[in-house]
Amino acid sequence: MRHGSFQWMKSMNKSIILNKIRKDGPISRAQIARETNLTPPTVSSNVKELIDQQIVEERDIGESQGGRKPTMLVINDQAFCIIGVDAGPENIECIVSDLAGRILKRTNIKLELPVDSTEFLDALKQGIAACLNELPKTANEVIGIGIAMHGVVDVERGVSLVAPNLGLSNIPIKEELEKAFGLEVKVENDARAMALGEYWFGQHGDVRSMLAVNVGRGVGAGLIIDGKLYHGASDIAGEIGHMTIDLHGENCECGNRGCLQTFVTGPAIARKAQGAENPLTAETIYELAVGGNEDYASLLTESGRAMGIGLTNLIHIINPEKIILGGGVSKAEKFWLPAIRETIGQSALTESASRTRVEITKLGDGATLIGAITLLLVDVFELA
């Protein structure tokens, strides 16, 4: 396993060349030089180093432009592995992926709740160790571990400041995992990690600004601006679940009233369906709605309208090109998406804003895990 980070190739020229190959490969050295304004000798010397380090390889022969056919360059996706972790709040899911985001191994550990910080860290170590132990001895080197964690995260120190669904605070995730495994560890809020994964792997084309919203037991969002993840002044950008949309609404666990998450999360939907002899889950409510129960269908549609109000507020503030919805509740797409789009269409300030694209993630249940491994890919391919 490789210890530390990819500082051995973190120069501006290498980053420019790597990103060019990642985005546009197969590509020739000459084309890289033309399109990056780097000199051909600079491109050639840096490419040689990248080939020596096995991150880039020569493959297909390109088309001749009148001379010798150029050798084309591609990223060697299988050169290294990355561990990605979706850390709770009920399960610890871990994957091993290659540099293209292809999942090679996957493990799942159920958390025995309630847990304290030590028990939570032990569960993280157990899940990661299980992934590593299942890799064959011939597997490529692991370059690091990406952790997607709910709640408020100090990204610089890799500390979970507040994990509300676990009732924990100040968990030193980065320090403990780097000590245990000798690998670089990146820790990020789960919704922001999901946004990064969507931007890299969601097949959204040339989009420069994107909002990704994760709706499950809570509501969080990640914002991409000019291709970069936005954290805010104190690392709480994206906590949209606590946006007030009804001053006289239900009390929220944060102490305020009428927060968005009191309308749209799984527990909120289940709570509004109370009255049945047996308490229902949001998943059961969805299944009954699909089966023809009009009351539950209306409940999900109303939840979609509330989500539409919240997203309209965000459109007015940040005006993203595209909004992606993920998380368990987004599976109610049949009822949710039409209500969301209709609400935005009716409420947005301008016609162009009312046409903001809103879609469900194509990465499915793995969106957050893919985001976790992308935390390390950013470290590999881009300058900090």
269-283 pLDDT, tens digit each: 998 887 555 678 888
What is the arithmetic mean of pLDDT over 222-238? 89
How many domains would you assign to the chain? 3
Cα separations (Å) of 199 from 21, 210, 222, 247, 370?
A: 17, 8, 10, 34, 11
Cβ atoms of residues 81 and 98 within 8 Å: yes
Instruction: Identify whether 249 is part of a domain.
Output: yes
What is the arithmetic mean of pLDDT over 128-143? 79
What is the arithmetic mean of pLDDT over 241-254? 90
Cβ atoms of residues 334 and 360 within 8 Å: no
Do 211 and 337 lie in one domain? The reply is: yes
Instruction: Identify whether 1 is part of a domain.
Output: no
Do 263 and 375 lie in one domain? The reply is: no
Do 89 and 188 lie in one domain? The reply is: yes
Instruction: Identify whether 2 is part of a domain.
Output: no
d(CA 339, CA 238): 22
Q: What pLDDT, on the 0 to 100 scale, is given for residue 64?
A: 54
- The C-alpha angle with vertex 87 and arms to 321 and 186, in degrees rounded to 5, equals 70
Do 230 and 291 lie in one domain? The reply is: yes
Do 176 and 215 lie in one domain? The reply is: no
Q: Does the pLDDT of residue 188 top 80, yes or no?
A: yes
- The pLDDT-based confidence of 184 (bands split at 50, 70, 90) is very high
What is the arithmetic mean of pLDDT over 79-102? 90
Cα separations (Å) of 52 from 8, 9, 46, 49, 221?
A: 12, 11, 10, 5, 39
Residue 118: give the domain boundaries. 80-195+368-381
Cβ atoms of residues 223 and 317 within 8 Å: no
Do 295 and 259 lie in one domain? The reply is: yes
Do 214 and 357 lie in one domain? The reply is: yes
Lowest mean pLDDT among 126-130, 159-163, 204-208, 380-384: 380-384
Final residue of a structural domain among 75, 105, 122: 75
* Strand residue runs (E) in the chain: 27-28, 56-61, 71-75, 80-87, 91-97, 103-110, 141-149, 152-154, 159-163, 168-171, 184-189, 209-215, 219-225, 228-230, 322-326, 357-360
Do 224 and 354 lie in one domain? The reply is: yes
Instruction: Identify whether 280 is part of a domain.
Output: yes
Q: Does the pLDDT of residue 313 top 70, yes or no?
A: yes
Here the CATH number for the domain that contains residue 18 is 1.10.10.10
Is the pTM higher than 0.75? The answer reads yes
Q: Does the pLDDT of residue 2 top 60, yes or no?
A: no
More confident residue, 65 or 211: 211
